[in-house]
Chain A
Amino acid sequence: MIEIANVSKIFTGRGAPFTALDDVSVTIRENEFFTLLGPSGCGKTTLLRVIAGFIDPTHGAVKLEGQDLVKLPPYRRPVNTVFQSYALFPHMTVAQNIAFGLEMLDKPSAEIKATVDQMLELVRMTPMADRKTSEISGGQQQRVALARALAPRPKVLLLDEPLSALDFKLRKDMQLELKRLQSETGITFVFVTHDQEEALTMSDRIAVMNAGDIRQIGGPRDIYDHPAERFVADFIGDTNFLEVELLATEGETARIRLPSGVETEVRAPRDGVAPGPVTLAVRPEHASLSGGDGAALPGTLANVVYFGTDTHFHVDLDGGARFVLRQQNQPGTAQGWSVGDAVTVTLAPGVGQVLRD
């Protein structure tokens, strides 16, 4: 378990001081695949490097199983990092790279050899053991970097955008591979990425970061279906923002009035929001043009964009707002609408999240 308590990092140098981390607190559970997600410059890598020990926090504590890590140099922390550039030692073979951490821990050579073989097996690199790291492909380097970081059996594995240098297909494979490694080794993974899809596919929990602060923590589904604020809703997936009026909240349910005048019930923000004008976030696939139960928003179809797996309908709502909805394509069926048609957007019952800001 890692407890990050009130960690701040202010970089001072030439020019104005820069707050990279602003009083961040989060607890990462044991055996968890935990993802720090955010745009570049949000502080996610800084937080990772604070845990690794490459950056000293200006304030705050980082505790691993109750032990304060901040006082320890990186080489005394039972955490290992998979670097974005892999940082494999170019003067060593694949096997020597994997053995490095164990050698530095002065493990007996028989144990080192056994672990290295096991790690090579784990990342399916056994035939490449004696290659130089410059002689293997990017995907293979990635797997060696993983094996090297896993070999000393760290309590926590830190991964700094490790898949960003791989091409699309390889990245998909590695996402599954990482998930497999995490469950096979039972090691806590802290994964940094700016790719929301990566975060949603692999993580047990995600912390969405912006401007040096964690904006929301939750499971992938929770984050996607119930974004707490506009930034999170906007950063993860596509979202429609509707200006609505909040009438009342009761527990998790909020009663609102849509611009069309229809009243409906949606999810309320966790920290209470006073009645009045608020923003409602609705995912494009949570609405339909086919009617059915739910609140209706009349409008005019402005654009139809075909995407293969699904089609996006751009609707100009009466009252001026633009609503984009997405419907999965069915084989052989044509879309029943064309541009200029008067249509009705129907929100599925219970969907939509009132944002806290």
Chain B
Amino acid sequence: MSDAAATRTARSRWLLLAPALAVLIFAASGPLLIVLVYSFLTPGDYGGILWEFSTDAWFNVVFEQDFFTEEVTLADAHLSIFWRSIKLSLLTAFLTFVFGFPTAYFIATRPKDKRDIWMLLIIIPFWTNLLIRTFAIMELIRAEGAINSVLLALGIIDEPIQMLFTEFAILLGMAYVYLPLMVLPIYASLERFDFTLVEAGYDLYASRWRVLRKVIFPLAKPGVIAGSILVFVPSLGAYVTPRVLGGGKQLMLGNLIELQFGAGRNWPLGAALSLTLLAIVMVALILYVRAAGNEEVRHG
């Protein structure tokens, strides 16, 4: 190959890479870098930032200092929000798995021409605005909502159950919103599944439950892993659902961060909290993938 041709090849390779590089630099790394820089600056009085180096924001993520006594204590408010976010996100992933796995299995075992219709039914809510879907859940669970009305009418309860503005409400809302993210990857792994293997399991003395545990589940596992990550990650940073269904009483990380950029007027703290969220996601993913991988090694 001549030098000129080599140069041309090199140039066209860069051209092909350009869109990906542009996205990585301007859309991903760039903003992240700005967030990182902001987290080490001083908050402006009316929002924004002052270009003065400070580690206060990072300190304030976990600790708080009494204004008068200058006594340093753990920031309980922040820690309880971290804990709630992690807990609700794990529960959401678990709940979507409990409902999503049978759903995906059901769809995958329908005749080929029917599967698309079932998938469509699962995906349709996804096309609706998130706010609308969240308000629909609100309509179901509020004191005068559908569930309470029916239960009252049937005489099962005497007074409405408080469901709205609780952690339960947030969990329900997130599980509903993220269910398709669990169903889709599990369905994808089950769709390619050879159901003769189920017959082989039955044939070799495995009961229904054991076929599910020993044959179907191990082979659907990549889908389950993908699904839990797809659900857990956005749940951790969820904003709209806890805002609407938690009613500002049950804050999650997303709401806390929003608060710093809004009413709190503490952009550096917001930036530091954002990066904390990112760190939690990364640690959780590493732990999860490692645990799932280990199990693969042990059983595989």
Contacts and interface: CB of A to CB of B under 8 A. Distances in A.
Real binding pair: yes
Contact of A75 (B194, B203, B215, B300): B203
A75 B204 CA distance: 6
A89 B199 contact: no
Nearest to A93: B300
Interface string B19-33: 000000000000000
B contact patch SS: helix
A89 B215 contact: yes
A352 B205 CA distance: 49
A91 B218 contact: yes
Interface string A141-162: 0000000110010000000000
Given A89-B215, A90-B219, A91-B219, A104 B206 contact: yes
Contacts of A148: 204
A144 to B, nearest CB: 12
Interface string B196-207: 110111111111
A131 B52 CA distance: 62
A105 B210 CA distance: 11
Q: Which of A85, A104, A149 has the most CB of B within 10 A?
A: A104
A344 interface: no
A80 B200 CA distance: 9
Nearest to A91: B218
Contacts of B215: 89
Given A53-B202, A89-B215, A91-B219, A75 B207 contact: yes
Contacts, number: 62
A286 B197 CA distance: 47
Contacts of A101: 204-205
A306 interface: no
A153 to B, nearest CB: 12
A100 B214 CA distance: 9
A88 B203 CA distance: 12
B221 to A, nearest CB: 8
Interface residues on A, range: 20 to 34
Contacts of A152: 204-205
Contacts of A105: 205
A75 B212 CA distance: 14
B232 to A, nearest CB: 24
B197 A74 contact: no
B243 to A, nearest CB: 43
Given A104-B206, A152-B205, A87 B219 contact: no
B203 A80 contact: yes
Given A85-B194, A87-B196, A91-B300, A100 B219 contact: no
B199 A104 contact: no
A74 B202 CA distance: 6
B202 A87 contact: no
Given A74-B203, A75-B202, A80-B203, A89 B210 contact: no
A53 B206 CA distance: 13
A50 interface: no
Contacts of A87: 194, 196-197, 199-200
A104 B204 contact: yes
A76 B299 CA distance: 26
B102 to A, nearest CB: 20
A154 B202 CA distance: 14
A231 interface: no
B294 to A, nearest CB: 15
Interface string A87-128: 111110000000011001100000000000000000000000
A139 to B, nearest CB: 19
Given A89-B215, A91-B218, A91-B219, A100 B196 contact: no
Nearest to B193: A90
Interface string A51-87: 0111000000000000000000111100111010101
A100 B202 CA distance: 11
B204 A80 contact: yes
A351 to B, nearest CB: 44
B204 A100 contact: yes
A74 B199 CA distance: 8
Interface in A238-263: none
Contacts of B210: 104
A109 B19 CA distance: 58
B300 to A, nearest CB: 6
A353 B137 CA distance: 79
Nearest to A54: B199
Nearest to B205: A104
Q: Which of A73, A83, A148 has the most CB of B within 10 A?
A: A83
Contacts of B214: 100, 104
Contacts of A75: 201-207
Nearest to B197: A87
Nearest to B200: A87
A79 B207 CA distance: 15
A152 B200 CA distance: 13
A148 B204 CA distance: 9
A52 B203 contact: yes
Nearest to B202: A74
A152 B203 CA distance: 11
Given A52-B199, A80-B203, 8 more contacts: A54-B199, A75-B201, A75-B204, A75-B207, A79-B203, A87-B194, A87-B196, A89-B200
14 contacts: A52-B199, A53-B202, A54-B202, A75-B202, A85-B194, A85-B196, A88-B200, A89-B197, A90-B197, A90-B219, A100-B201, A100-B214, A104-B201, A104-B204
Interface of A: 52-54, 73-76, 79-81, 83, 85, 87-91, 100-101, 104-105, 148-149, 152
Interface of B: 194, 196-197, 199-207, 210, 214-215, 218-219, 299-300
